[in-house]
Chains A and B, each alone.
Chain A
Amino acid sequence: MRALERSGKTIEEAVDKAVSELGVEREQVEIEVLEEPNKGFLGIIGTRLARVKVTVKINATDKGKTFLREVFTAMGLDVLIEVQKKPEYLLFNLLGSDLGILIGRRGDTLDALQYLVNLVVNRNESQRIRVVVDVEGYRGRREETLQKLALRLADKVKRRGESVVLEPMNPHERRVIHTALQNHKYVYTSSQGEEPFRKVVIVPKK
């Protein structure tokens, strides 16, 4: 990691010096104040300069990409990694042939990979960044499938007047179902059971 220690009359000045010498933007560095400045008595006796240590942060995109590349090389997979910076998260969309093994049963493998990338990207970082990993838009398609399923089952519940219990889903997928039906006229939803077997129940409104 690149780092520099610089002094200045103020913390500000010391940081500016270090940042411009490193040739980076202020948002890309972490600042550690080694010594607070002291103007001393009448600016003559006991003056002390501010001293800071400025470290260039390795950005999340590079960290995530490097890790994913290593993983795919070890797995013998040829994958193109597309990066998109969204306002609330960082998206790695994976492209290539035969990436079904990266998705797994209902996205199990993809979720495991996403969890590990989140850990690696946020390791030793003070600010947490959310990372989403997707394979050729699988997550969007799965979400659409779940929304359609929710509406179809809600219709069935309405017609029969009996609750329907869905198969176990992870928190994200359950949220998709809950959201899809939150303003439904004839049914409401709740969850039952313990993770990882927690299920959504669609119940008719009385």
Chain B
Amino acid sequence: MMRDLVMVLAKALVDNPDQVEVNAKETDRVVNLELKVAAEDMGKVIGKQGRIAKAIRTMVKAAAAKEGKKVNVDII
């Protein structure tokens, strides 16, 4: 679910939606998500001073709280 959310958010922001990849590594309480986008789209998911990345993380944290989990989103 949180993976889907990162997928939806990233795809809507980038120029190359087909190159968006999200890998999830889940332990019982923590979900680690790795977001990969095309090199030229990095700015589109990070933003000035990381503002977009921060907004993505805020949304994903809200979704995670609903499931009682902790979540980390790394952009690589």
Please name all residues of chain A whose beta carbon is closer than 8 Å to the beta carbon of B51 when the two chains form the complex. Answer: 115
Judge if A75 is at the interface, Cβ distance under 8 Å.
yes
A75-B1, A76-B1, A115-B55 known; A120+B13 contact, CB < 8 A: yes
Please name all residues of chain B whose beta carbon is closer than 8 Å to the beta carbon of A74 when the two chains form the complex. Answer: 1, 4-5, 7-8, 63
Report how far A102 CA is from B12 CA in the complex, Å.
19
Residue of A nearest to B6 (CB): A74
Judge if A104 is at the interface, Cβ distance under 8 Å.
yes
Chain B's interface size range is 20 to 34
A116 x B66 contact (CB < 8 A): no
Judge if A203 is at the interface, Cβ distance under 8 Å.
no
B66 x A71 contact (CB < 8 A): no
Residue of A nearest to B66 (CB): A101
**Main secondary structure on A side of the interface with B:** helix
From residue B64, how far is it (CB to closest CB) to chain A in Å?
10
Please name all residues of chain B whose beta carbon is closer than 8 Å to the beta carbon of A104 when the two chains form the complex. Answer: 58, 62
Please name all residues of chain A whose beta carbon is closer than 8 Å to the beta carbon of B1 when the two chains form the complex. Answer: 74-76
B5 x A112 contact (CB < 8 A): no
Please name all residues of chain A whose beta carbon is closer than 8 Å to the beta carbon of B12 when the two chains form the complex. Answer: 67, 70, 116, 120, 123
Judge if B46 is at the interface, Cβ distance under 8 Å.
no
List residues of chain B with CB under 8 Å of any chain A CB: 1, 4-5, 7-9, 12-13, 51-52, 54-56, 58-59, 61-63, 65-66
